[in-house]
Amino acid sequence: MQALHIIKIGGNVIDNSENLHRFLKDFTALDGYKILVHGGGKVATQISESMGIEAKLVDGRRITDIDTLRIVTMVYGGLINKNVVAQLQRYGTNAIGLTGADGDFIRAKKRPVKTIDYGFAGDLFEGSINPDNISKLLDSGFTPVFCALTHDGDGQLLNTNADTIASALAVALSKSYETTLVYCFEKKGVLQDIDDEDSLIREINPERYEKLKTDEIIHSGMLPKMDNAFTAISFGVKAVIIGHSDDLGQLKNKAGFGTRLSK
């Protein structure tokens, strides 16, 4: 079975051109099939403010009204996505920039209104990913670069969490490839002590994860990422790695990189 790496990058890479160039060089050096998934960083918020449109967030989640949807479509699907693709071409990766609407690769449903109306936010469902169409791209030598936009099949674009997209891609493609999901963020991995970068936890299995939660070593913002990761593993993803984007190059050398989550 062919190996596939699905790598998600966040704002700490997107917002810093030096970090981004270093990361994209390391990404290009990785052997085998790979997919890149990116969010929007601070750029969407900065452009919103420059146009007099206030970014609305509830518990860190963006409210995507129609004006915000227009901006994230321009920024995620245009400015950021095409800049990343152009740089990857420069380094020798034959990248193709995509939203979920392209090739009908990723469908979502508009998030239902409960206590909060998140606007044009999209939630994924079973069958959201079209793995056959994505495999055609991979097998043709292309490296897909997905931004955090999906569609509902009725002509509506939706803003969808990039972590969730990466996880769903990994699960859907794990039936055809030996899939490793990599979340790159601003820490070296999961830390025993959040203030000590040298307290990296190298390996976590489900039993250890439960103990780390009970001992409140892992909490708040890290929990959704970890829960997503172990769900992906339970559905066939080989492993999930959480680490700093600067260390991605260690993957090619088969060296220890970040925190590895597995069965």
**119 is annotated as contributing to ligand binding:** no
Closest CA to 112 of 149, 152, 81: 152
176 within 8 A of 6, measured Cβ to Cβ: no
CA 25 to chain centre: 18
159 appears as a binding residue in the annotation: yes
Q: Is 62 marked as binding a ligand?
A: yes
The residue type of 11 is G
User: Which residues touch 88 (CB under 8 Å, ≥6 apart)?
Assistant: 24, 27, 28, 36, 95, 143, 145
Consult the annotation and say whether 41 binds a ligand.
yes
Torsion of CA 133, 99, 180, 91, to 10 degrees: 100
Binding residues: 40-41, 62, 159
Binding residues for substrate: 40-41, 62, 159
